[in-house]
Amino acid sequence: MTFLMEYRHNVDLEELCPVCGDKVSGYHYGLLTCESCKGFFKRTVQNNKKYICAEKQECRVDKAQRKRCPFCRFQKCLHVGMRLEAVRADRMRGGRNKFGPMYKRDRALKQQRKALIHASAFRKESSPLLVSSTHQRDYTFSGGFQPDTIPQSAVLPTAQNDIISHQHPSLLPSNSPGATLYQYPSFSNWTVKSEHPNNCAISSGSAAGIYSDNLFSSPPQGSRMPRLVMEFLRCDPDEIQLQSKTTARLKQEHSGSNKHRNPSTFSIMCLMADQTLFFIVEWARTSIFFKQLKVSIWFNPHKNNHILIGRIMYKQSQHILDSHMYSLVQVELSDISSLAGPTLASLIQRGKDLVEKLSVLKVDRQEFACIKFLILFNPDVKELEDQGFIESMQEQVEGTLLEYILSTSSQHFGRFAHLLLCRSELRTLSSLAEDYLYFRHLSAEVPCNNLLIEMLCAKRS
């Protein structure tokens, strides 16, 4: 407790600009950036500037060299997620735009994550629910997953700073790429203020008791796998069935009225996504919690979409891991990149980065099952009923994930933090993908009778 009192400064503003590593001055055009990159992005978009790279379009962009190659700087701005739409065509000053809620959500998420990580990292005595005494461990930083083992691009830009700033400075290898790029904020002056005080500590929330039905009790003595994880696995969708249904539907579409023309890659992707979505809705509906959920939750377009993207990512990472072919359902993202426009290409690149990260982390089925439920129980989506239930579920699942990691990984703390970051990147990516899909839908480019689109439209209407 006294430890937490030592954290003072505004957490967000201690982050570093994902484009150049300079000090962040606030949210600009979609994410936290520095003042200069904000200005640069604005000038470029407002004046419709076209730059040319004198090198190989891979110039390093940092505080010292950001002026050297505006082409690469702008590319990086787009890659990290700065939004063209946030630059106003009418140049109107002041006010707020549609990104306001997104900034708020992002802020809440960061606070929640930090509070959670602190709570789990420094909690001397854990609740019986969180970690059973059989595998209680030292919670101090073990070095865990070093930043230099992850490709720079594999980490969510805002999260990147997060990872780094959560490492004790002495644990950072001074010769790591990250260390030479950025200066890290000192670890010992943060403030921990969460908009979700319930999530600050992972313990058995009082609300949980109302709903839980003893479901979340500690695993039986001697058992390594938390009981909840086993439950998660039990309700995992049947992969083989999903694949055969998707293949069948692809064949059916192809042999139907569209026989004469070749389906585009994009339409195949939409169809596959659509089919997967049916499964996800079914998964959410039949999951162990369904009897306690209101319909609005399991049929929530936003969450299901997050899980859909996550599923594809997870599959891809599995694919990289063991080079196992998943029949027709597998899509080679690299093949699509070459055909895609800049927005989709950037999305795909970020997706590939996340896949890379998932595969480096070797995320297993159990962990991914937890991540799926964490997304389903996202307390930051406020339109849902049963907010208290959702928050307590989120706590429970986070606790379960941590417990599982503690029992399986020697780099438990780093791993836990990284998995939460993957979840956040997944949410970000999914929102971007959603915007993109909606945009293409408005241009009448998305196939009809698409559940995904119907959900998106319902959400936005």
Partner DNA sequence: GTAGCCTTGACG
Partner DNA sequence: CGTCAAGGCTAC
CB nearer to DNA: pick between 49 and 324: 49
- Give min distance, CB of 94 to DNA, in A: 2
Annotated binding site for a phospholipid derivative: 341-344, 436
* Identified binder of DNA from the candidate list 103, 139, 145, 298, rule CB under 7 A: 103
**Dihedrals phi, psi of 27, to nearest 5 degrees:** -80, 130
**For residues 394, 398, 400 and 402, what is the CA-based torsion angle, rounded to 10 degrees?**
-170
CB nearer to DNA: pick between 14 and 35: 35
CB nearer to DNA: pick between 22 and 356: 22
* Identified binder of DNA from the candidate list 1, 50, 95, 323, rule CB under 7 A: 95
Contact (Cβ atoms closer than 8 angstroms) between residue 371 and residue 98: no
Residue 323 region, left (φ>0) first, then alpha (ψ -120 to 50), else beta?
left
* Tokens standing for residue 191: 């403030």
Q: Using the rule CB under 7 A, is 251 a contact of DNA?
A: no
> For strand 26-28 and strand 31-33, is the pairing parallel, antiparallel, or unpaired?
antiparallel
Write the burial class of residue 389 (CB in 10 Å: 0-12 exposed, 13-18 middle, 19+ buried).
buried
Q: Using the rule CB under 7 A, is 266 a contact of DNA?
A: no
**Residue whose pair of structure tokens reads 């670890």 in the numeric block:** 187
Contact (Cβ atoms closer than 8 angstroms) between residue 134 and residue 219: no
Q: Is 54 helix (H, G, I), strand (E, B) or coil?
A: coil
- Of residues 41, 63, 37, the one with CA closest to residue 51: 41
Question: Which residues, 6 or more positions from 262, have their beta carbon under 8 angstroms from its beta carbon?
Answer: none
- 193-212 residues in contact with DNA (CB under 7 A) are none
d(CA 382, CA 390): 10
d(CA 355, CA 346): 14
Stretch that binds DNA, among 33-41, 155-163, 181-189, 394-402 (CB under 7 A): 33-41
* Identified binder of DNA from the candidate list 34, 78, 155, 393, rule CB under 7 A: 34
Q: Using the rule CB under 7 A, is 84 a contact of DNA?
A: no
DSSP calls for 301-326: HHHHHHHHHHHHHHHHHHHHHH----
- 319-348 residues in contact with DNA (CB under 7 A) are none
**Residue whose pair of structure tokens reads 């939750």 in the numeric block:** 297
Stretch that binds DNA, among 34-42, 310-318, 394-402, 405-413 (CB under 7 A): 34-42
d(CA 329, CA 258): 20
* Tokens standing for residue 322: 């063991």
* Tokens standing for residue 421: 């970051």
* Identified binder of DNA from the candidate list 18, 21, 70, 226, rule CB under 7 A: 70
Q: Using the rule CB under 7 A, is 26 a contact of DNA?
A: yes
Stretch that binds DNA, among 95-103, 163-171, 212-220, 351-359 (CB under 7 A): 95-103
Q: Using the rule CB under 7 A, is 289 a contact of DNA?
A: no
Q: How many residues bind DNA (CB under 7 A)?
A: 32
Q: Using the rule CB under 7 A, is 67 a contact of DNA?
A: yes
- Give min distance, CB of 49 to DNA, in A: 7
CB nearer to DNA: pick between 41 and 232: 41
* Identified binder of DNA from the candidate list 4, 86, 181, 269, rule CB under 7 A: 86
Q: Using the rule CB under 7 A, is 30 a contact of DNA?
A: yes
* Identified binder of DNA from the candidate list 39, 197, 209, 341, rule CB under 7 A: 39
Stretch that binds DNA, among 26-34, 110-118, 340-348, 394-402 (CB under 7 A): 26-34
**Length of the chain counted residue by residue:** 461
What residue ranges bind DNA (CB under 7 A)? Answer: 22, 26-30, 34-37, 39-40, 42-43, 46-47, 66-67, 70, 86-88, 91-97, 99-100, 103
